[in-house]
Structure 1
């Protein structure tokens, strides 16, 4: 990949259903140390499509910087839209995943596997 041609992508799978999670709002923040505190600057926002993926990378075309980023997945509305989901058993309302970008030429694919009582993530391809 060419220098500074990196990108950040994601997808969301509902492991309780074995299916993509459509309609999950995803926000991407760049985390900066300023003075004595961390500040989160929103750099992108999108929602998952029917395949649980975004229609475009959250960050690409030379905009990726070295530093820390955080993906925030707003999963409460996703679970609430399913009339068969018992919301008293849904633990997660928002899932934040913070990660480090060290190579602006790399593809950072950070999927979320979600269920009412648990989640996991990994660096995909």
Structure 2
């Protein structure tokens, strides 16, 4: 048996419509003392998920990260009337990976007025 390898995944749930958030732009940043560094950019699929893990294998490192979801653009594209400026626009989830050999699932549950996350597996 080799070393267990972890991965980072996410998904978006649109709670205004009770369905996956399809076509949401997601950016993944590594955050260090030197600043933020963009690692990946992706769009959610028909299930509100990204087709492949955002991090896996050697890419999966302990450290601090940010997931940035373009939720405001998503809701605007759904034809939902939003105030200007938008209340929920770019949602940034700052989180840490302490154990690179574990799975970190960091979903976004979102509406134009609120959002939440949790650590899944």
Check whether TM > 0.5: yes
Deviates more, 1:53-62 or 1:85-94: 85-94
Counterpart among 42, 55, 60 of residue 59 in structure 1:
55
1:79 matches 2:75: yes
Distance 1:96 1:55, change over 3 A: same
Q: Does 1:114 align with 2:110?
A: yes
Aligned-pair CA distance for 1:73: 0.4
Q: State the superposition RMSD in angstroms.
A: 1.7
CA distance change for structure 1 residues 2 and 66 in 2, over 3 Å: closer, same or farther? farther
TM-score (norm 2): 0.92
Aligned length: 120
What's 1:50 paired with? 46
Provide the TM-score with structure 1 as the length reference. 0.89
Q: Quick one: distance in 2 between partners of 1:124 and 1:82?
A: 27
SS of the equivalent of 1:88 reads coil
Q: What is the DSSP-based 3-state SS (H/G/I as helix, E as strand, rest coil) of the residue aligned with 2:95?
A: strand
Query: 1:3 offset after TM fit, Å?
Result: 3.7
- For structure 2, the residue ranges without an aligned partner over 5 or more in a row are none
Dislocated runs of 4+, deviation >6 Å? none
Q: Which runs of 5+ in 1 are unaligned?
A: none
The answer to whether the 8 A contact 2:72-2:112 is kept is: no
| SS of residue paired to 1:62 | helix
Residue-by-residue CA offset, 1:26-52 (whole Å, 9 max, x unaligned):
111110113xxxx00111111101110
* 1:122 alignment partner, SS class: coil
